[in-house]
Structure 1
């Protein structure tokens, strides 16, 4: 799975995500029974987006078939994969929010490719809750 994720994420082989589409849709449907969840993919910094050419979390979210909003902005930092567990857990202020009206009193589901320590999801969820989201859950393709 590590090799597949690396090809998808770092080499731009986005067609690989189709291998998981049916499972992603089935697990999402089974896991989230809210009427109108709003999907928010974890953003990439502008630098990382230019480097990769796409945001893998947006690609995963688009497979689910629910409304997607992108109110978060990622603050550029060094690569997560290069950090030790303690460094990841100590991170705060990874995101800023650019508009809040669309998330107030909404059930939000954060979408990301991989869950390692939970620091990324936790920081994004905290910002969304502070901005008025009714609830924040997460959906990831892989748990490491």
Structure 2
């Protein structure tokens, strides 16, 4: 067995879970695990940002200044109830996700699965953030769906992306100037449901909020989100 990120040999722990599982878990080497910065401690109640990275003046009653600004808008207040992210987007994870998304290294998706919470997606309809047809053609797969595939989590593809402009190429100001970028299909499948949106990276939260707004207006009961990186 080899590490799915650095490809060095990995010796698994031979415990009962390993012996009784139908197929071996995909493992990471110790070195790669240590380079992933798991988000721990107190976080913003809405976006999941670690509060110890912020000065006290930028936090109000457990909510970061960015989320306070979102909530100042009657259009966006409460649209996205809460976000949870696994890791800080450090240089190691940035390079790993780049290999995963842009260089077609599908198996890297397996490296994140063992970090997912035990109650991940419990009693919720999971909706991955979609790629545009152009991006899907370029990459060959949706990176979010790849993680859900390895995690064996069922999901609903009920949204379509209306344009293909890369969020990574936009400035922060441009990302915050939200336009309608999603269209909903299978509306009946999300009516009165608790929805969990899943994406790879939370940056400003504009993509997730845009998707959440479309779902909310179509009758979803609540929308939370989950991302690999923050």
Same fold (TM > 0.5): yes
CA RMSD of aligned residues (A): 1.4
Considering only CA atoms, is the larger Rg found in Structure 1 or Structure 2? Answer: 2
Q: Which runs of 4+ in 1 moved over 6 A?
A: none
Partner of 2:186: 99
Partner of 1:13: 105
Whether contact under 8 Å (2:134, 2:164) holds in the other structure is no
Structure 1 unaligned blocks of 5 or more: none
Structure 2 unaligned blocks of 5 or more: 1-92
How far did residue 64 of structure 1 move?
Answer: 3.8
Partner of 2:96: 4
Q: Quick one: which of 184, 191, 195 aligns to 1:108?
A: 195
How many residues were matched structurally?
138
Q: Distance in 1 between matches of 2:151 and 2:195?
A: 14
Specify which structure has the higher proportion of strand: 1
Cα 1:60–1:28 change in 2 (3 A) is farther
Q: Deviations over 1:29-85 (max 9, x none)?
A: 2x66x5x21100000000110011100111123344333101100011321111000
Q: TM-score when scaled to structure 2?
A: 0.57
Specify which structure has the higher proportion of helix: 1
Q: TM-score when scaled to structure 1?
A: 0.90
**Superposed counterparts of 1:1-144, under 5 Å:** 1-24=93-116, 27=117, 29=119, 34=122, 36-143=123-230
Q: Which has the higher contact order (CA 8 A, sep 6+)?
A: 1
How far did residue 28 of structure 1 move?
Answer: 5.5
Cα 1:95–1:89 change in 2 (3 A) is same
Whether contact under 8 Å (2:125, 2:194) holds in the other structure is yes
Whether contact under 8 Å (1:37, 1:66) holds in the other structure is no
